Amino acid sequence: MKYNLTYDVAIIGGGLAGLTSALHLSKCNKRVLLIEKNEYPKHKVCGEYISNEVLPYLNSLGIDPVKEGAKEIDQLELSTVKSKTIRGELPLGGFGMSRYFLDELLAKKALENNVVIHQDTVEKISFEDHHFLIYTKKNQTYTGRVVIGAFGKRSNLDVQMNRKFIQRKSPYLAVKTHVKGVFPDNLVALHNFKGGYCGVSKVETNAINVCYIVNFSSFKKYKNIEDFQKQVVLKNDHLKKIVTQASPIFEKPLTISQISFKTKKPVEDHILMCGDTAGMIHPLCGNGMGMAIRSAQIASLEILKFLNGKISRHQLENNYLRNWNKEFKIRLRAGHLIAWLFRNQRISEMLLTVLKWIPSLLPKIIRLTHGKPLKAQ
């Protein structure tokens, strides 16, 4: 059967990974389709801190977060459930920028580079005769040589593809809000409370992003988010000070449930998975956004080799899988371990004491969940 191939690459999902890969591939003169169910701009549940490891790469794509108003962050503050704290320098540093602003910025750049963006929901993807067919909710059918899956933490496509992680219920719930108050521009804080932890940092609007994740079993004992925050989250003195002295910007917090940290496959049904679709690091490590952007770079570089006839599809998939694991496997394992340590209140208190005795350990732990700055190749 012959198909009229409209696109070199079809990208399912227009978050950080999807938009970054769309921009990268389009700048190399490839025909790119991006399908995203939401319109831009849109707030998302996200920590909104990004490691500087991706900064040279973003700059090479024409994106300069600092010039766009991102907050430059070089300090980390960490506290335990009992509010004991330690502060240190971030080895690479990072920046704070809202997903509302960054996603729209990337989308505009992608459109300038002739990426076709359609607001629609993909319901099925099939691979036939070395090409993909993409079927959407609006009864559209698209074809392409390569498909990138960047559809986020959980999707109907995960169910349709019968991915293993989606078959298990996940116990995690995340909550995010923006508040107006006093908080250092150059600081990202990670404050633990019973059953979860909260990230705090500023974004380009001077809003303070407050985003926490909690085990649902801890949350369900309470009437609602407000009650849970009052009874549990604000027991951490640092969070209490931030929240009680600030005024809300959002009418109500954003929430997302069923967040899974289970192992996922970076390649399934010949689709290259990017960002959270390929795997999630615990938010306590503060590097999910950086990983999403970096995974888009890894995928784009291999896709260009394939489209330019330098490697076969089999090599494309194997190369991406190998490079993804090389870049992220240790990070994910370290993230699981660090999150486990801080979930255990007794151990986390002991760990913080050790870090105070040996402060040089903190940057070493941070490096386990971060990569090195890499430019586009």
Q: Which residue has the higher pLDDT, 226 or 311?
A: 311
Q: Which residues contact 95 (CB under 8 A, 6 or more apart)?
A: 49, 50, 52, 55, 65, 66, 70, 71, 72, 73
CA 116 to chain centre: 23
State the total domains in the chain.
1
Task: Report whether 97 contacts 68 (CB < 8 A).
Answer: yes
The H or E element that residue 79 is part of is: strand 71-79
pLDDT digits (tens, 9 = 90+) for 266-318: 999 999 999 999 887 776 666 889 989 999 999 999 999 999 999 999 999 99
Whether residue 333 has pLDDT greater than 50: yes
Which residue in the block uniquely carries the two structure tokens 């990426």? 115
* 377 within domain boundaries: no
CA 165 to chain centre: 18
* 179 within domain boundaries: yes
pLDDT digits (tens, 9 = 90+) for 15-59: 999 999 999 999 999 999 999 999 999 999 999 999 999 999 999
The residue type at 306: F
pLDDT at res. 2: 45
CA 254 to chain centre: 16
pLDDT digits (tens, 9 = 90+) for 125-152: 999 888 999 999 999 999 999 999 999 8
Is the sign of the CA dihedral 282, 187, 362, 87 positive or negative?
Answer: negative
* 55 within domain boundaries: yes
Q: Which residues contact 230 (CB under 8 A, 6 or more apart)?
A: none
pLDDT at res. 374: 63
Residue range 189-214: mean pLDDT, rounded: 93
pLDDT digits (tens, 9 = 90+) for 175-189: 999 999 999 999 999
Domain hosting 203: range is 7-367
The H or E element that residue 258 is part of is: strand 254-259
* φ, ψ at 304 (rounded to 5°): -60, -40
For the entire predicted model, the pTM comes to 0.91
Helix, strand or coil for residue 160?
A: helix
pLDDT at res. 175: 93
CA 172 to chain centre: 16
Task: Report whether 297 contacts 27 (CB < 8 A).
Answer: no
Q: Specify burial of residue 33 (Cβ count, 10 A radius: 0-12, 13-18, 19+).
A: buried
pLDDT at res. 1: 43
| Gap between the Cα atoms of 367 and 226, Å rounded | 35
Whichever domain contains 175, its CATH number is 3.50.50.60
* 160 within domain boundaries: yes
DSSP 8-state code for residue 146: E
Q: Which residue has the higher pLDDT, 370 or 256?
A: 256
